[in-house]
Structure 1
Amino acid sequence: MTDELHVDWDPRSDPVQSNQIAAYDEMRSRCPVAYSRYRNWTVFRHEDVVRILDDHHTFSNRVSAHLSVPNGMDPPEHTPFRAINDKYFTADRMSAFAPECREVARQLVAGSADGQIEVMSALAEPFANHIQCRFMGWPERLHEPLQQWTHKNRAATRALDREAMSAIAVEFDSYIREQLDERRTVEAGAPTDVTSELLSERVDGRPLSDTELVSLIRNWTVGELSTIASCVGILVSFLAAHPEIQHRLRTEPDLIGPASDEILRMHAPLVANRRRTTREVTVAGRRIPAGERVMVLWASANRDETIFGNPDEFRLDRDPADNLLYGRGIHNCPGAPLARLELTIFLEELLAATDSVEPVTGTEPAYAAYPAGGFEAVPAVAVSRSSRPPNRSGGAED
């Protein structure tokens, strides 16, 4: 019985929280499949994670008693819902949304990219919030409630406060239902946006239920609010600490997309996802019974030395298929095209508006606590092009 299993590690312990990435690197070599005090198994190695992602029959995505569309489903139920999901992230849709995305990024950067800033609160969190509302067609009046909700959700999740987490989930669902109801009320006059379009979707010949619609939208939106903010913080922190790479992206902006993927491989914005075993299975020599919870640790697998060599070496010649940033298999991240678009445009606008982004002398970014990835705070100095003093010849500095 799992009650009798030896506990290998505590992902919420102080030593792990002080530097999650370093702790995962150490566990990967010492105990590649570890049983935790929270009664689940964590898988650290790239090879084992890939095996799990490629075998949805043995490692099911049905990990919760609550409906989760489509990522908490397995085939055949998963298939038609995933098909609906994927319609909203096509190349044509991304091209159409790009100008709006750029407008949001440019406005935020213009208001913050001059002088010392705290990146998470000034740029990362507002960008994730505003861009998701813009994509869904939601009004600006939701910006502040969603920001407050994100902070409450983060605090409750870290504290493992089940009662608070439940209440916070109900609160978020109320925002979604409000948007659905508003569009039903105006009927023919409803705005043409993603939320309105979803109301007309059908699966197996029937309309989606409100429960299914809310679940689908929740999975899109909650993931965006937290993960995109985390991505922005990681990217800005890395570029501030690596001026030579920052300079390269300023001179070769076509590299911003692949560079973002590589930076986020090194420091994961999303720490882990869950699976559940459907039968007894052995992974890296550890016997895992049927019905057990398994944590797929992206933050470790994407730094596996057997695949990437020195995991902290920034390289743009790696095989993109090895990078598990957006998952793999039938449950790979459906919103990856949108995330890549958002992050690329954000960095384009940040680099275009500044001469440099630098660390704040004497300070370090504050790491986020499990289960969140990235940073709590990223102090930086952004030097705006418009504020750069003239050089002796009277022109702008190079």
Structure 2
Amino acid sequence: MEQKRDDTARDAVPAFDWDPRSEEVQADQIAAYDAMRGRCPVALGAQGNWAVFGHADNRAILEDPRSFSNAVSAHLTVPNGMDPPEHGPYRAIVDKYYTPWRMHAFEPTCRRIAHRLVAGLARDTEVDAMAALAEPFANEVQCAFMGWPETLHGPLREWTRKNQAATLRLDRKAMSAIALEFDGYIREQLETRREARTSGAEPPMDATTELLGEQIDGRPLTDEEIVSIVRNWTVGELGTIAASVGILVRFLARHPDVQGDLRARRHDAGLLARASDEILRIDAPLIANRRRTTREVEVGGRIIPAGERVVVLWASANRDEAVFDHADEFRLDRNPADNLLYGEGIHACPGAPLARLELSVLLQELLGATASIEPAGEEPRRAAYPSGGWSTVGVRLA
């Protein structure tokens, strides 16, 4: 009998180190990652993914695409789901859309959107900054960048809600249907521009039209490739920029000293961009990214076999005390090269210049149009994995 009890106890030991979707972790993802970083810096999750928490280990993964492949999806993902040498030519195309002169040209449009939305916020009463500012700003600014009509604002906001809900439920069937729905919006915009050319009219000169003229290896991009590029740009933008705005507003409301300093220096766009990066280092809008091992590797003292899924946790790496002393403190004197907010290596986020432009412009408009931003209402719950940020952000503006 005693031997039987021992066997039962041994068999009951879980074959994983943690469950990133557990209620305990979801209650406060950032706090849970901080705890795991000290207790188990490389952890096998209940879903079979290896989570990496430390800054040095994550940076090593990002700088080694030969050992840690980005080809993790069954669907075409251009270019971030590609490895060298295939990745390079596609990435060269994408990078052309985020040059300094393009950002300069887009800035007035971005500012008009931010100014209008901030001006429309209620004063001296509780406002949910997510619903009233963050979500519409992310939606409208991305549509403007792509050259899409205002008639898509409503459908895309509803699509974003459905996508987040399906992702949270891990409803694969719904996620596939929702992905096809989004691809339909992109294909409709491509077809509109083709029809304009066929009829002799000039299609709008925007990013969507330009992509129709791009070539790879001497041939035009296929519709599937264009749809994948635009999907990656837009889906990431809608969720991550909205989360970023919510995090920034909530942080300023709860740190009046930082708010006052940035308000006094709001005309310095570069300063606001650095401040945004630092706030988003503290509280990540994008929790993680995926890789797949191409060979047996050692990470943080643990052996990970070939073919395993690895999760790079930005939300943990950017709070690693070995790199960021007093990680919860807002400090503009930190080394910006240590901040992995937009990734690193060949797969670093190509849209980082656009994100920084959007967030600095929004901060300028918000700080310039208000005298104070204060917390209001109940403390919100954090967004659930794999999303970062907050579900609601209640504030009072004056």
Structure 1 residues 290 and 78: alpha-carbon distance in aligned structure 2, compared to 1, 3 A threshold: same
Report the secondary structure of 2:310's partner residue: strand
**2: distance between equivalents of 1:29 and 1:107?**
45
The equivalences for 1:222-241 within 5 A come to: 222-241=235-254
Q: Give the match for residue 293 of structure 1.
A: 309
Say which SS state the counterpart of residue 66 (structure 1) adopts.
Answer: coil
> Which amino acid in the other structure matches residue 141 of structure 2?
I
How far apart are the structure 2 equivalents of 1:122 and 1:64? Answer: 34
**Identity within the alignment, %:** 66
The two structures, once aligned, show a CA RMSD in angstroms of: 1.0
- TM-score w.r.t. the length of structure 2 is 0.94
Residue 148 of structure 2 is aligned to residue 138 of structure 1: yes
2: CA distance, partners of 1:47 / 1:39: 22
Shift of 1:114: 1.8
User: 1:274, 1:259 → 2: CA distance?
Assistant: 27
Find the residue that maps to 2:372 and give its secondary structure: strand
Distance 1:10 1:121 in 2: 30
Partner of 1:331: 347
Cα offset for 1:366?
2.2
Partner in structure 2 of residue 123 of structure 1: 133
Amino acid at match of 1:243: P
1:195 partner letter: T
Q: Which amino acid aligns with 1:378?
A: V
8 Å contact kept, 1:36–1:42: yes
Q: Secondary structure at the match of 1:34?
A: strand
Per-residue deviation, residues 102-126 of structure 1 (Å, max 9, x unmatched): 0000010010152321010000000
Partner of 2:217: 204
Out of 223, 230, 233, the position equivalent to 1:220 is 233
Check conservation: 2:27, 2:381, Cα contact below 8 A: no
Unmatched segments (≥5 aa) in structure 2? 1-12
2:116 counterpart of 1:107:
yes
2:77 pairs with one of 48, 68, 82: 68
Q: After the TM superposition, which residues 161-180 of structure 1 pair with which residues of structure 2 at under 5 Å, given as runs?
A: 161-180=171-190
* Separation in 2, partners of 1:212, 1:73: 12
Structure 2 letter corresponding to 1:104: I
Q: What does residue range 364-383 of structure 1 map to in structure 2 within 5 Å?
A: 364-383=379-398
**Which residue is 1:271 aligned to?**
287
1:300-339 mapped onto 2 (5 Å cutoff): 300-339=316-355
Distance 2:58 2:27 in 1: 24
For 2:48 and 2:322, the matched residues in 1 are separated by 28
| Residue identity in the other structure for 1:40 | N
**Contact 1:240–1:246 (Cα < 8 Å) also in 2:** yes
Quick one: which of 158, 163, 167 aligns to 1:153?
Answer: 163
Are the equivalent residues in 2 in contact too, given 1:366–1:378 (CA < 8 A)? no
Structure 1 segments unaligned to the other structure (5+ residues): 384-398
1:70-109 residue pairs with structure 2 within 5 A? Answer: 70-109=79-118
Alpha-carbon shift at residue 6 of structure 1 (Å): 2.2
User: How far apart, CA to CA, are the structure 1 residues paired with 2:343 and 2:101?
Assistant: 22
| CA–CA distance in structure 2, aligned partners of residues 333 and 5 of structure 1 | 36
The CA distance in 1 between the partners of 2:27 and 2:262, in whole Å, is 31
CA contact (8 A) 1:113 1:354 kept: no
Give the equivalent residue in structure 2 for 1:244. Answer: 257
Partner-residue secondary structure (3-state), 1:42: strand
Q: Which position in structure 1 is the counterpart of 2:7?
A: none
Q: How many residues in Structure 1 have an aligned counterpart in Structure 2?
A: 379
Q: 1:34 aligns with which of 9, 30, 43?
A: 43
Cα deviation code 1:339-378 (max 9, x no counterpart) = 0000000010001110011001x52132101110000000
Q: Residue 371 of structure 2 aligns to a residue in which SS?
A: strand
Q: 1:180-217: CA deviations, max 9, x gaps?
A: 00000001420111100010000110000000000000
Superposition misfits of 4+ residues, deviation over 2 angstroms: none
